[in-house]
């Protein structure tokens, strides 16, 4: 699957976003090592801390289906800037895919690609607990 194809799946999730507070819909698509793709959107809550990001929605859907190996994540928004994953999402992704390729897109459907280790340098992972 190309970066563009994965990003288009993420863009298709923007209309499913529940973002009445931020008015900032985000879509994600997570490509698994076995070729499956899990999508997600952000789901906000009046108790802001209960909000879940699109990236974590896709990740939790995949993990709940037994998938543990991931190759590429696309995360997109409608803003002018690229839609970078937040710190909490970076850490959750790092748990399962420390070398994940991350594709980020903006409202003009421009894309850029960056490896997760560049987004979360000197990260803490399962091996840090030994």
Residues with a known catalytic role = 55
Sheet of strand 70-77, all strands in order from the earlier edge strand to the far edge: 37-41, 26-32, 70-77, 101-105, 111-115
- Residues forming a β-bridge with 30: 38, 73
Write down the H helix ranges in the chain: 3-11, 54-64, 87-96, 116-119
Q: 10 Å Cβ neighbour count for 118?
A: 8
């Amino acid at each position: 699957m190309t970066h563009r194809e994965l990003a288009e799946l993420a863009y298709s999730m923007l209309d499913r976003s529940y973002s009445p507070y931020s008015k900032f819909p985000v879509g994600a698509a997570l490509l698994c090592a076995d070729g499956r793709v899990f999508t997600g959107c952000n789901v906000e809550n009046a108790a802001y801390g209960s909000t879940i990001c699109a990236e974590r929605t896709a990740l939790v859907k995949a993990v709940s289906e037994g998938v543990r190996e991931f190759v590429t994540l696309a995360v997109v928004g409608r803003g002018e800037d690229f839609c970078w994953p937040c710190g909490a999402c970076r850490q959750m992704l790092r748990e399962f895919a420390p070398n994940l390729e991350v594709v980020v897109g903006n409202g003009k459907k421009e894309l850029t690609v960056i490896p997760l280790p560049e987004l979360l340098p000197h990260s803490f992972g399962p091996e840090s607990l030994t």
